[in-house]
Amino acid sequence: MKKPNETAVIRVLRGGEEHEFSIILRPLVAFLFLYVYSSLVILGSQTYHLVATLEPLVPVHQFDKLPSYYIFAGLVFIPLTQPYLHEYGEDWYNTSPRRLCERALRELPKKAGEQLVILSQVLMDDVNAGYERLAEMQVKKINGVEIENLKHFCQLVENNREENVRFDLEDERVIVLNYTSAKIATSKILMRHRIPSAMSNDLVDEKKFLETECGHSN
Ligand SMILES: *[C@@H]1O[C@H](CO)[C@@H](O)[C@H](O)[C@H]1NC(C)=O
């Protein structure tokens, strides 16, 4: 059994030729191995020395990073991370929401930047009445568009031009909100909870932000 950061040599037989790859093993070997393997087969017949640095779909650590969040109509959306699951205590593997936990440990990203977006909690208000039981579920689509990550999700909601905005969650659960009233409710809810911004800084559209900054200095 190899330990993290050891080098492993992998021999792969393709089209009757033997290809040799050497990779440096990082933690989460299973994820990385699959990735390295699938991206290497196409590369030809030399020996490759690769450091596997691809992230798993659900990040294991969040050191030095402020948590990402986006609040709309009191619904708090975040990307699923392992530290989030760790908040369920020492026995998080058994006590965290089963499906989220399984996805966190098993799923591989299909493209760079992909995140699982979940509705982590509901700040109660008339606008979201009845939706609090949908907390801890994954959100899959906004107005029929598949979500790539929290930033994409936030842009889809912010740029909504329909009268209603529709969220498709796992298990065929659907949230439909009147966009205008949801926007109004969002401001009220943020004020009530003294939350200064509906989204974390990493989601703020830089261009818009700059325009606002310039507006202030004039
Ligand atoms: C959505 O909310 C706005 C403002 O509260 C209201 O004027 C409008 O009629 C609502 N639309 C629907 C379809 O309920």
pLDDT tens-digit map of 53-64: 456 677 776 666
Report which protein residue has its CA nearest ligand 1's atom 1. Answer: 178
pLDDT at 210 over 70: no
Report which protein residue has its CA nearest ligand 1's atom 5. Answer: 181
Q: What single letter denotes the amino acid at residue 167?
A: F
State the average pLDDT over residues 15-44.
Answer: 52
Domains of the chain: 70-207 (3.20.190.20)
Ligand 1 centroid to Cα of residue 205, in Å, is: 27
Report which protein residue has its CA nearest ligand 1's atom 10. Answer: 178
Q: What confidence score (pLDDT) does residue 13 get?
A: 67
Looking at the DSSP assignment, which residues form a beta bridge with residue 19? Answer: 12
Highest mean pLDDT among 23-37, 45-59, 87-101, 173-187: 173-187
State the average pLDDT over residues 67-83.
Answer: 93
Question: For the chain, how many residues are written?
Answer: 218
The residues, any chain, with a CB within 8 Å of residue 206's CB and separated by 6 or more, are none
pLDDT digits (tens, 9 = 90+) for 159-199: 999 999 999 999 999 999 999 999 999 999 999 999 999 99
Q: What confidence score (pLDDT) does residue 20 get?
A: 67
Ligand 1 centroid to Cα of residue 182, in Å, is: 10
pLDDT at 217 over 50: no
pLDDT at 25 over 70: no
Q: What single letter denotes the amino acid at residue 84?
A: Y
Ligand 1 centroid to Cα of residue 131, in Å, is: 19
Ligand 1 centroid to Cα of residue 177, in Å, is: 10
Q: What is the DSSP string of 22-70?
A: EEE--SSHHHHHHHHHHHHGGG-SS-EEEE--PPPSS-S--TT-PPP-E
Q: What confidence score (pLDDT) does residue 105 get?
A: 85
Report which protein residue has its CA nearest ligand 1's atom 4. Answer: 181
pLDDT digits (tens, 9 = 90+) for 95-144: 999 999 998 888 888 888 899 999 999 999 999 999 989 999 999 999 99
Report which protein residue has its CA nearest ligand 1's atom 11. Answer: 178
pLDDT at 30 over 90: no
Pocket of ligand 1 (CB under 6 A): 163, 178, 180-181
Ligand 1 centroid to Cα of residue 80, in Å, is: 32
